[in-house]
Every structure is written in C-alpha cells, then in structure tokens.
Amino acid sequence: MSSKSFDKILIRILISNTGLPSAKIGSWTNRITRLLESHPKLFDWILSPTDTPGGQFVYCRKEKAKPGILAKILRKSPALLVASQYFKALERLTKDQTEIQLLVMDDLALLEAIADWKTRQKSTVRLDFSFHGHSFILPEAWGKQVNKVYFLTQLGYQETRRRNDVFAPIVEIIGNGCDSNLFFPLSPADKLQSKLSLGYRDQDKILLWVSNPRPKKGLDLFLQLGKRLQAIYPDLKILLIGAPKDLQLADDSWKSLGKIPNAELPNYLQIGDFYCFTSLWKEGFGLSLIEAAKCGNQVIVSSTGGIPEVVQNLPNSYLVESPNIIESWVEAFDQAWDSRSDFAPERDSLSNFQNLDDWNRRLLNALES
C-alpha cells in the first residue's frame, strides 16, 4: 500500500493476545501502553483481553482450541478456531469501512487467524505484524496476506529470511527502547548513598541478574557462576531480580528480590556495577539488558540471537561467545573487573542508547509508511 493510499485509511486497529493497557514488568506491553497514553488517537480500537474495557479498548480473548470431529470436518487450523471473539469484533467495528489497517502484536496463531479474516473482506486491508522474538517461520499459504513485519534487529530479520524459502512482507527494523528519564546512571555520590541505604558497604561491588527463572534464561548457570566469581572477588555481592524470593542462596552476600514493580527497578539497577545476561536461547533483544546498561552497569552478555547487534555500540559491554561454558563467563567478567576503574558512565551518552522516544518514532514511521 502506498503512502498516498495510506492517508485515506479510515480505521486502524491494534490486536493483542495480551491485555492492554498493561504495567507488566520487562515487557513490550509496557512500551505500547505508554505509546497509547501519549498518542491516544493512534488506534481507533484496541482488541485484547483487557482488564479495563471501555472507550477504544474492546475485550477479546483467544479461546482454547478444541481439535476434534468438527475441526476435522471443517478442515480449519486451530488458529482459526480460537479467534472467534476477534472475528466478531472486527466484523462489527469495520462494517462499512473501505480501508482498514490492522497491527497484530507478537502472536503467530492470532496473525494466522487475522490473515484468514482478511481474505474474506471486500475492503482494502493492510495487515502488519510486530514480532518480538528473534526469528520465525511464516508459511507462504497465508503469510502472503501479511503486508509488513516489524523486527527488533537486523539480525532477526536476516535469520527469518534464511529460514523461509519465501518471505514477502515489507520489513521495518524498529528495535526497542526504555525511558531515559527512569533508567540513567547516578552520580558517584548518589550511587554511594543509594548503596548504603540498601544495606551495602562502600567497597562492595554489585553483580546483577534480572530475568525470570525459566531454564532458557540461564539461572542455574548464573548461580554457579556467582560462586566462582565470589571465590575470586570477595567484595562482590550478588543481587537477583525476577528469580524466586525463596531461592536457596549461598549466604547473605546474595539477595533475591523476586518480582518487583517496573517503577522500582531503576533503584536497584542504579546501584549495580556489573550485569550478567545469561540467556541460553536466541533472544530477540533483551529489555533488561538495555535497562541495566543505561543505569551505568558494565554488561556481560550471551552472544546469541539479536544481542550482538544490541550492544555493538555500547562501551564496556562484553560478549560471551560460548555461553554454556562457565569459564567463558569468568574470563569476560575478569575483563570487566579489570576495566572498572576506567569506566565512568555518562548520563548524556547513555540517554541516547536505545531511547524510548526513538523507538516511538520508528514505530510511528512503520505504521505510517
């Protein structure tokens, strides 16, 4: 669809299988919610399992697939069977509209269902997909209905292209972003005061791990790594966020806070010195990684998925090429430790690193081109 015809679009709809608005920790839903707050007229309707239906927010949820005799008779994909609420809402909201733009958020089953809905419309329908993983398979049979895909990284796009014999959508690389007014490095004096207020000593160096405890996030690896590092660096303290509060820890030099509200996260990232991103799968981007970096931490990260692209221009970042080998992490941490006295994070330069305002602009451009 050309930019000229885009100007004539009469209705724009956001479609999500995660409830919006949202205050989820470390999620794309937080960015989208803030975008909707700052651009309330960007979408005419938002279809999702929302907790606050009303106005432009319409409650829709996927239903559980019930494969059986009926599905076999109809020969329909389970993806089509679970999206009936979205279909009904779209039929009602787009009645008599001549041009429609749909943006599906990060759900391939829902995307397949909406692609099928598109084939049955007389209106002109543009279908966009915002993808928040690293790469995916887009079957040609229905993927030809997808007009544009938004990727987090160029690496993710290129791997997706390699995995698909045919990949026809227009592509936009929109990246990620977090708020530089929330995530920023403290001055040395303010950082010391914050450390002391949270029970740490002046000489303590703090190593952070922020994620959820799924095996692919590397929690078990990090627990072993932390013990190895403390044997070498006795002033190293370890702080985990997102892991269970009742996690069995080595001693009181370790703390596990569990899940905390997103608004409180900077308070802890800003007292950190090092951050380990021990992911063992192909990450799309790594939001906690950029949050920790913007707060002034040296970051030691798995060289997997889109991560090398994310940190390519970030000073004092260390890629671990063999992330399943603990010794590789120890070697990278040694380099970070040796350079700690030369590292002076600057708020102005870090403000420009993966800035939320830049992400907003890229997303708006993707929608409007």
Confidence check: pLDDT of 118 > 70: yes
Count of residues in the chain: 369
Residues 201 and 329 in one domain: yes
Confidence check: pLDDT of 69 > 60: no
Query: Does 16 reside within a domain?
Result: yes
- Residues with Cβ within 8 Å of 120's Cβ and at least 6 positions away in sequence, in order, are none
pLDDT > 70 fraction of the chain, expressed in percent and rounded: 93
Confidence check: pLDDT of 27 > 80: no
Which pLDDT belongs to residue 250? 82
Confidence check: pLDDT of 216 > 60: yes
User: What value does the mean pLDDT take over residues 275-281?
Assistant: 97
Question: Residue 248: pLDDT band by 50, 70, 90 thresholds?
Answer: confident
Query: Does 270 reside within a domain?
Result: yes
Number of structural domains the chain divides into:
2
Residues 11 and 142 in one domain: yes
Report how far residue 198's alpha carbon sits from residue 193's, in angstroms, rounded to the nearest whole number. Answer: 9
Which pLDDT belongs to residue 282? 96
Residues 87 and 192 in one domain: no
Report how far residue 102's alpha carbon sits from residue 163's, in angstroms, rounded to the nearest whole number. Answer: 25
Confidence check: pLDDT of 129 > 90: yes
Query: Does 256 reside within a domain?
Result: yes
Is 99 in contact with 9 (CB distance < 8 Å)? yes
Residues 172 and 199 in one domain: no
Q: In the predicted model, what is the mean pLDDT of the chain?
A: 92
- Residues with Cβ within 8 Å of 33's Cβ and at least 6 positions away in sequence, in order, are 20, 21, 22, 23
Residues 141 and 211 in one domain: no
User: What value does the mean pLDDT take over residues 45-53?
Assistant: 96
Report how far residue 50's alpha carbon sits from residue 18's, in angstroms, rounded to the nearest whole number. Answer: 8
Question: Residue 96: pLDDT band by 50, 70, 90 thresholds?
Answer: confident
Instruction: Work out whether the CA dihedral 344, 237, 288, 321 comes out positive or negative.
Output: positive
Question: Residue 8: pLDDT band by 50, 70, 90 thresholds?
Answer: very low
Residues 347 and 360 in one domain: no
Query: Does 182 reside within a domain?
Result: no
User: What value does the mean pLDDT take over residues 207-235?
Assistant: 96
- Alpha carbon of 201 to those of 195, 209, 269, 325: distances in Å? 7, 19, 16, 31
Q: Tokens 């999500």 sit at which residue?
A: 16
Owning domain of residue 260: 188-351
Which pLDDT belongs to residue 10? 81
Report how far residue 206's alpha carbon sits from residue 275's, in angstroms, rounded to the nearest whole number. Answer: 9
In the structure encoding, which two tokens stand for residue 78, read together? 């389970």
Residues 173 and 217 in one domain: no
Query: Does 151 reside within a domain?
Result: yes
Confidence check: pLDDT of 6 > 70: no
Residues 167 and 226 in one domain: no
Residues 143 and 212 in one domain: no
Strands laid side by side in the 45-48 sheet? 57-59, 45-48, 11-16, 99-105, 124-130, 148-151, 170-173
Residues 269 and 205 in one domain: yes
Which pLDDT belongs to residue 155? 98
Which pLDDT belongs to residue 261? 86
Residues 120 and 205 in one domain: no
Residues of the chain by 3-state class (helix, strand, coil), percent to 5: 40, 20, 45
Confidence check: pLDDT of 111 > 90: yes
User: What value does the mean pLDDT take over residues 335-351?
Assistant: 93
Query: Does 44 reside within a domain?
Result: yes
pTM listed for this prediction: 0.91
Is 25 in contact with 19 (CB distance < 8 Å)? no
Report how far residue 341's alpha carbon sits from residue 316's, in angstroms, rounded to the nearest whole number. Answer: 11
Which pLDDT belongs to residue 71? 53
Which pLDDT belongs to residue 313? 87
- CATH classification of the domain holding 7: 3.40.50.2000
Residues 54 and 139 in one domain: yes
In the structure encoding, which two tokens stand for residue 118, read together? 């598109």
Confidence check: pLDDT of 7 > 50: no
Query: Does 64 reside within a domain?
Result: yes
Is 353 in contact with 314 (CB distance < 8 Å)? yes
Q: Which residue did the predictor score with more confidence, 15 or 25? A: 15
Number of other CB atoms surrounding residue 253 within 10 Å: 16
Which pLDDT belongs to residue 72? 52
Number of other CB atoms surrounding residue 335 within 10 Å: 12
Query: Does 137 reside within a domain?
Result: yes
